[in-house]
Amino acid sequence: MAREKGLKGMESRERLLAAAAEEFANRGFHETKVSTIVKRAGLTQPAFYLYFPSKEAVFDELVNAFRTRLHALIGSSRFEAQVEAQDVPKRVRMAVETFFRFLEATPHLTRIGLFLAPKAEEIKKELIALIAFNLSAEQQAGYFRSDLSMKTVAECLVGIVERLTLSQLLPGIKSPESLASQVVDLLLYGMLSMKHTSA
Amino acid sequence: MAREKGLKGMESRERLLAAAAEEFANRGFHETKVSTIVKRAGLTQPAFYLYFPSKEAVFDELVNAFRTRLHALIGSSRFEAQVEAQDVPKRVRMAVETFFRFLEATPHLTRIGLFLAPKAEEIKKELIALIAFNLSAEQQAGYFRSDLSMKTVAECLVGIVERLTLSQLLPGIKSPESLASQVVDLLLYGMLSMKHTSA
Amino acid sequence: MAREKGLKGMESRERLLAAAAEEFANRGFHETKVSTIVKRAGLTQPAFYLYFPSKEAVFDELVNAFRTRLHALIGSSRFEAQVEAQDVPKRVRMAVETFFRFLEATPHLTRIGLFLAPKAEEIKKELIALIAFNLSAEQQAGYFRSDLSMKTVAECLVGIVERLTLSQLLPGIKSPESLASQVVDLLLYGMLSMKHTSA
Amino acid sequence: MAREKGLKGMESRERLLAAAAEEFANRGFHETKVSTIVKRAGLTQPAFYLYFPSKEAVFDELVNAFRTRLHALIGSSRFEAQVEAQDVPKRVRMAVETFFRFLEATPHLTRIGLFLAPKAEEIKKELIALIAFNLSAEQQAGYFRSDLSMKTVAECLVGIVERLTLSQLLPGIKSPESLASQVVDLLLYGMLSMKHTSA
DNA sequence: GATGAATGAGCTTTCATTCAT
DNA sequence: GATGAATGAAAGCTCATTCAT
């Protein structure tokens, strides 16, 4: 009789969260009805309010979940920086790839936290700041052109990631690896063909 | 057809459109109430339905207005491209700058057509295709690296423009010129400092 | 074509107010449903919210209507005080009678403002203070026993009026005149028979 | 019957009753949630329904508790009346004082049974009848003016007690003794100063 | 060309109450 | 004796939309 106290409740809650995530991701906040969420979770409306104070609260919880995982990812990526015996391009590619992989892993949360949430801009701002900080280190190490603003570069990178996530990654058209290598190739080496570059 | 006659009617319609654009841009589709739009336009709710069949219809009309202007812009830019004998970097920079200027000119429409509309993805897809087409010409002329997919580059460019528009252009933090030159500098020459590039 | 602007709306509003007053008076705040009010007024629920921001707001409006009339009554009763060539008992009786008449005139408002409203206590407190003030004048003129606290007397008077209003006046069992004379007779002369009083 | 056994059960039941009494007294019937009652009693909602068939049932039980005690009080006071050979004023004062003391002893029940219950009017009607009966005896003994309706006097007395209970006794502003002597003084001797009385 | 007045449809939320254990 | 989990039923409120003038 392993009476897991509160197990069933937790499961219901998780089911509601998952259903909500999917609905929000597919239809947005307003088009998502509590009635649909609970139907998907096999429950009734009052059950929803047993676990969440309001529809907005679930949404916020999902946004925060995304944010938390995002911060966790970035925190852990700092460690790898120490193992950096690799060359810069490879390191950058790995980082971007990891990020794409992260976004791909929880597509609903990604859509919510990156595109739907009113807080999305704020979240991106944080992200950009962190990336800019990391890039600056490389820049000071002489790897990147000193006349570029890493803040701007970070912003561009995030813009690219957003777009490709929406148009290629989430629809499953391209893989994190392929996207990462294309993006990094472009950003590191630029578009110009060599003959012009050296001009 | 019934829309041709009546000066006052046209003016009311325009006022409604403008009010709707501002509200939609600032609050999004669902947060925007018809009652607010008409208040802003100094009219009443039935008047709204005199000019538009539904709230969605106004929104669509605004989206289409954006799309139309966008197409006009791109159509005209083709011409210039042929007349010009300038060097590639300058040409690209001018094109991007023109585009930023275009987005800055009608900020409400930009926010609606580029970020709020469900159709936004479709609009961007068109835009990306056109840009990719133009870039391919340059690529075939040998200006751009032949190992890059211009489709992808176009996508990245649009992603960058989206992000910078939202974070720098619309808030009035940076000018079209400065944004264009930063973006183009990055995309054309890449991030790597010369010593590494030549490696 | 006496196009009374807003006449129909005003009428609807009044119908809603009247219906609400009756429902509130008969069932109390919580048992009264907006759906019942609008049915009684021959309207639909949204119409209710066209005229009142919430169910509570109508209730408050009714309470305030009572309070306002009450203050008006008291304000006007001051005037009569100047015409006072009459003897004290008659004067007091007239005042009490007027008050009963006032309560009888708008029975729903009376029930709401005097018995149902959370503010009822406050309203009575005001009323008591005013009555005490008036009584004190008579007391200082030597008409009332100087060892009585007019504040307490006022409180007793209001308590009596409350009770008789509920049990005799509103059910239509006794008239304002008969109630007033009984009350005043008791309060002025006391219960004791003469032989004991003089003891 | 099923309620006889079980000490712990009885205790839980009492805790629920006490919690309910306090909540009802402070917030009224509708504002009081079953969830709040059980929280206060340290139990869960199903436990509530183990002891009471419904929320209304607890309320009724509390009202009846008040009524029962009230009847007990009145029953016992009859006895004393016969034993006493004291003068009328003192006797009346003692009775009123006893009553105030009774109301003060169980303030929650008082608020519920005297002011909140729909049955309150009925309860008061009974009380008034009993008081009127007692007063009539004194009246027939020649102590009270024969031209007064003891029914009305009883009603006035109850009205006064109600008001003073709410505004002075329950808030702890005045004591049963002081209230009783003020009330009785007023009711027995009236407001008029002697010179006018004898006129 | 425009409005005062009204509504259908639907939403989120609340609460007393019960089932299964 | 008690609880975790769930629900039926309904309430208040909002909004895009329309009718009659």
Q: Which residue has the tokens 């509920």?
A: C166
Is residue A2 very low, low, confident or very high in pLDDT (cuts 50, 70, 90)? very low
- The stretches in chain C having pLDDT less than 50 are 1-3, 196, 198-199
B near A: at least 3 beta-carbon pairs less than 8 Å apart = yes
Distance CA(B58)–CA(A86), nearest Å, equals: 55
Is residue D88 very low, low, confident or very high in pLDDT (cuts 50, 70, 90)? confident
- Same domain for D121 and D46: no
Q: Would you state the pLDDT for residue A199?
A: 42
Amino acid D18 reads A
Size of interface C-D (CB pairs under 8 A): 122
Q: Would you state the pLDDT for residue C18?
A: 97
Report yes or no: C183 at the D interface, CB cutoff 8 Å: yes
Q: B82: buried, middle or exposed (CB in 10 Å: 19+, 13-18, 0-12)? A: exposed
**C132 token code pair:** 């005490």
Distance CA(D134)–CA(D158), nearest Å, equals: 14
Distance CA(B191)–CA(A131), nearest Å, equals: 14
* ∠ CA A92-A95-A100, rounded to 5°: 125
CATH number where A31 lies: 1.10.10.60
**D186 token code pair:** 């007023």
CATH number where C101 lies: 1.10.357.10
Higher pLDDT, A198 or C161: C161
Min Cα distance D192 → chain C (Å) is 4
Per-residue pLDDT of A104-152, as tens digits, reads 999 999 999 999 999 999 999 999 999 999 999 989 989 999 999 999 9
Distance CA(D81)–CA(B118), nearest Å, equals: 87
- Same domain for C144 and C186: yes
**Chain B interface test: which of A191, A192, A196, A197 (most B C-beta within 10 Å):** A191
* ∠ CA C43-C44-C50, rounded to 5°: 90
DSSP one-letter string for D165-199: IIIIITTTSS-HHHHHHHHHHHHHH-SB-HHHHT-
Q: A147: buried, middle or exposed (CB in 10 Å: 19+, 13-18, 0-12)? A: exposed
**Domain coverage including residue D94:** 55-197
- CB-to-strand F under 7 Å, chain B 143-162: none
Residue A16 has pLDDT above 90, yes or no: yes
- Same domain for D188 and D154: yes
Please provide residue B67's backbone torsions phi and psi, each rounded to the nearest 5 degrees. -60, -45
Min Cα distance A183 → chain B (Å) is 8
- Same domain for D155 and D189: yes
Amino acid A114 reads L
Please provide residue B145's backbone torsions phi and psi, each rounded to the nearest 5 degrees. -50, 135
List the single protein residue with the shortest CA to C1' distance from E4.
Answer: C6
How many domains does chain A divide into? Answer: 2
Per-residue pLDDT of D92-130, as tens digits, reads 999 999 999 999 999 999 999 999 999 999 999 999 999
3-state SS of C87-122? CHHHHHHHHHHHHHHHHHHCHHHHHHHHHHCCCHHH
Q: Would you state the pLDDT for residue A74?
A: 85
- Same domain for A171 and A140: yes
- Of A11-25, C63-77, D165-179, least confident by mean pLDDT is C63-77
- Same domain for B66 and B37: no
Answer whether B125 sits within 8 Å of A167, measured CB to CB: yes
Report yes or no: D56 at the C interface, CB cutoff 8 Å: no
- What is the residue-averaged pLDDT of chain D? 90
- Same domain for A47 and A68: no
CB contacts of A59 in chain B (<8 Å) are none
Please provide residue B175's backbone torsions phi and psi, each rounded to the nearest 5 degrees. -90, 160
- Same domain for D68 and D15: no
Closest C1' nucleotide to C49's CA? F13
pLDDT along chain B (199 residues), means of 10: 66 95 96 96 96 96 96 76 70 94 97 96 95 91 93 97 98 97 95 64
**Pick from B159, C183, C73, D149: nearest CA to A162:** B159
Is residue D199 very low, low, confident or very high in pLDDT (cuts 50, 70, 90)? very low
Distance CA(A195)–CA(B17), nearest Å, equals: 51
Residue A1 has pLDDT above 70, yes or no: no
Q: How far apart are the first and last CA of chain B?
A: 66
Q: Any bridge partners for residue C192, and if so which?
A: D144
- Same domain for B117 and B65: yes
- Same domain for B193 and B129: yes
Distance CA(A54)–CA(D47), nearest Å, equals: 27
Min Cα distance A43 → chain B (Å) is 27
Q: Would you state the pLDDT for residue D3?
A: 47
Q: Any bridge partners for residue B144, and if so which?
A: A192
Answer whether A160 sits within 8 Å of B164, measured CB to CB: no
Q: Which of B159, B167, B191 sits opposite A145 (nearest CB)?
A: B191
- Same domain for B62 and B42: no
- Same domain for A78 and A141: yes
